[in-house]
Chain A
């Protein structure tokens, strides 16, 4: 039997954890300090820390925002979360792309939705672009909510053995650093060209916009290639709604020196990433904070909120924070615990001041 002074909470791996108020408050203070130190943003102030404690320590299983503070919910991977079944979090429900979209609009009350290719990456869409354009047009004719096309830039697909360019990771282990950087730069140019090819075509087929999901998953050159791709889409489709979401809290420096608009992008944190997203022409930015499975929910959420709040403090763009398995303070678990998910979502809206999730 746990003491009444203890709160039932979560570890970063989703397992149950009991903490008393002092332990929880200490984790909140440590988490916010870690994020502030890493990103160079301000720590949460005393009121924000108290509010965060109040959210995390609630005796209620499900926690929600105050009435009137609801935010927009957008979704990634399109219909794949219903139809997909890789033995993991997909629903495995036999359903067409149209049915998937209709269920999200009319049953799940999604505010926006998107069409997605099974591989969910830009590159493999090119050879099937005509099919994607056809499905986009057909489904748009049946939906009311904004309907986008979504894909990951996923620049890893441009490196050997999947693509035409040398693999920087392999080259660097042989200390061929300059060659690795050159291959990354060529891949970024190719990625931008493919983004232009895919995104402008689905837009012309009726898409309301494009969701660039998990940007910079292959590092800094991936980020630069995507930003140039966004520029091209914006130039050709001025009214397209462009959501640029990130892969991690910090841009991995695989190249280390590649620049966008005179700015080295390696190591940038959300409050710096969003500035470049706006310059490139994005309408909405999706910051990410990664979960540490060895730390508590209090530590992870305080840290995540600090990163995102720092981004919100400077951003001119609306923020739709990435929330899910292993990001946004949410534990890394196959099915993230609802108590943790709702606490993280509430804190992101009420403390980090995000505009959507």
Chain B
């Protein structure tokens, strides 16, 4: 148990309560009590994970997740002066997200984008009906190391495989992790087309994307 168990709990509780000022106050109180900035950020990360669980269980909703993430961002900014220089302003990875060409369904992909952003990833959301070469462009020219491909229809899920083929043709397949999802997509399909990751839900996607980082 940490020496700052009460402060840690207060920070986690503030994250779950998702109020920006509440999170900032809890972080400031923890800092005033002598807790290290990195420990406070770890506690906020634990709180964000709990927020993700509550979201998955239908107890918290998208605006609440975003508000918690916003509060965490604001609190981290105030802690930046106390952080090691190599931890300031870092993100886990840069992900380009999009619904594949021919598919105009947006909401599921947008929820995953939001959850990844809240989970510490930098997200480039290309929108929906995205031409396949645009994903490759993001990898080659914009530094994305993860590609998220969404499809809601059986007629468009095959485009996920097309994008993977284009990544291979461009010689960058080994440089990126490919995440696939959408209602008709299954683990078996993801395996068949050579994707790196399939998830049933947005929250699960964040956990799996983090696991892919090694």
Contact = CB atoms under 8 A, between A and B. Distances in A.
Interface of A: 12-13, 15, 37-38, 86-89, 156, 159, 162, 167, 169-170, 172-173, 175, 177, 180-181, 217-220, 250, 252-257, 266-267, 269, 292-294, 325-326, 332, 334
* Residue among B70, B114, B183 having the largest count of chain A Cβ atoms under 10 Å: B183
A111 to B, nearest CB: 28
Nearest to B199: A294
Interface range, B side: 20 to 34
A20 B104 CA distance: 43
A329 to B, nearest CB: 15
Contacts of A292: 200
Given A88-B155, A169-B114, A170-B110, A256 B125 contact: no
Nearest to A253: B61
Given A169-B107, A250-B58, A269-B58, A293 B186 contact: yes
B155 A87 contact: yes
Interface of B: 57-64, 66-67, 70, 104-107, 110-111, 113-114, 117, 123, 125, 153-155, 183-184, 186-189, 200
B200 A175 contact: no
A254 B110 CA distance: 11
29 contacts: A13-B187, A86-B155, A87-B154, A88-B154, A162-B104, A167-B110, A169-B107, A169-B110, A172-B62, A172-B66, A172-B114, A173-B113, A173-B123, A175-B66, A177-B63, A177-B66, A177-B67, A177-B70, A180-B63, A219-B107, A220-B61, A252-B61, A252-B62, A252-B111, A253-B60, A254-B61, A254-B107, A267-B59, A332-B184
A267 B106 contact: no
Contact of A334 (B66, B111, B154, B187): B154
Given A86-B155, A88-B154, A267 B58 contact: yes
A253 B63 contact: yes
Contacts of A325: 184
A266 B61 contact: yes
A13 B58 CA distance: 23
Given A13-B186, A173-B125, A256 B106 contact: no
A217 B183 CA distance: 12
A159 B154 CA distance: 24
Contacts of B61: 220, 252-256, 266-267
Nearest to B67: A177
* Residue among B64, B66, B123 having the largest count of chain A Cβ atoms under 10 Å: B66
B114 to A, nearest CB: 6
A180 to B, nearest CB: 7
